[in-house]
Amino acid sequence: MHQMPAGRPANTGSTEVVAEPGEPERTGGERDAHTERIGDAPPERTLLPERALPLSRRQTVAEALVVAGLSLGQSGVYAVVRLIDMLTQAPLSEQEARLNTSASERPWFDLTYQLLGIGFALVPVALVLVLLARDGMLLRGLRASPGAVRLPEPSAAHASSGVLARLGVMRAPGRDLGRGALLFLLIGAGTLGVYAAGRALGVTAQIQTDNLGAHWWTVPVLLLAAVKNSLLEEVLLMGYFRIRLHMLGLSPWTVIVALAVLRGSYHLYQGVGPFLGNVAMGLIFGWCALRWERRRGDAVMPFVWAHFLIDAVGFLAPGVLHMVDPV
């Protein structure tokens, strides 16, 4: 994907700060004097030691594991156990994976439970936004602390900027929506093909997305559920986890493959077909991000839009899945 976020260690344990195009290379005292003038472009290929990073390697790993345990990693573990449970009961082709299920027979309580579930499911999104915003505060503290490495201002601009700007939110909303719509058409068609093939081969459960009953609030709740899924998965996968894995010095394609497998893991309760389909979706998203970010930096919104459209259609038009189901 990838232009590296500022402050990320390279494979050598240091971070390169590259001069603005066209700036001449300086030597000796000229370079030192130049780097201390706030606002000037950083000198060419100045190396910053790891102490200039907002988090150490150990802190980064620990933080990412905690976030995973509170969110998608936890869902992946449950999905694996659920798949084993299903496989030991009956063939997958004879079982169902039910989404958006009712939580109470009384409509008002059901609505309350649905809204609470959606709201609390988004807490990890708020958490990672806070953690990413903290990066900038830590970098500013490093620059201000006695004896700290003198950081040229542009070298930390990416991490010190607002977290929403760092993730590309509202940078180009029209273009993000257009790219999301194109991804929706591509991934949506592929999803139907993978689902049909999985059902025919007996490796995918029958997916039921219409389990809330007919209430005045059913459609709004289903749309909110689609918003929840898209924000939770894409902000964490295409935003937080991707940034953290790059801070560990992993290559762009290592990060893409690792996050694609994680994406597939928490869909295993639906069967092998959805696992493979979501891994493919993660690889496509990662490849697109790698190309787009070379031009304009981090951006999660095209993937949020694509995911929202996929889920919204799947939730509001469940007949599409039934139509391609050969079983």
**pLDDT digits over 105-143, tens only?**
999 999 999 999 999 999 999 999 999 988 876 666 555
What are the tokens at 221? Answer: 């709740």
Q: Are strands 206-208 and 46-48 parallel, antiparallel or unpaired?
A: unpaired
**pLDDT digits over 81-96, tens only?**
999 999 999 999 999 9
Give pLDDT, residue 139: 62
Give pLDDT, residue 296: 59
Is residue 100's pLDDT more than 80? yes
End-to-end CA distance of the chain: 39
Mean pLDDT value of segment 161-171: 78
What are the Cα distances from residue 47, in Å, to 35, 200, 306?
Answer: 12, 56, 38
Give pLDDT, residue 51: 47
Work out the pLDDT band at 41, boundaries 50, 70, 90: very low
Is residue 42's pLDDT more than 60? no
Residue percentage of the chain with pLDDT more than 70: 75
What are the tokens at 37? Answer: 């003038």
pTM: 0.78
Mean pLDDT value of segment 198-215: 92
Work out the pLDDT band at 16, boundaries 50, 70, 90: very low
Residue percentage of the chain with pLDDT more than 90: 63
Angle between helices 57-70 and 123-144 (to 10 degrees): 160
Give pLDDT, residue 293: 78
Is residue 213's pLDDT more than 50? yes
What are the Cα distances from residue 98, in Å, to 102, 123, 275?
Answer: 10, 23, 16
Give pLDDT, residue 155: 38
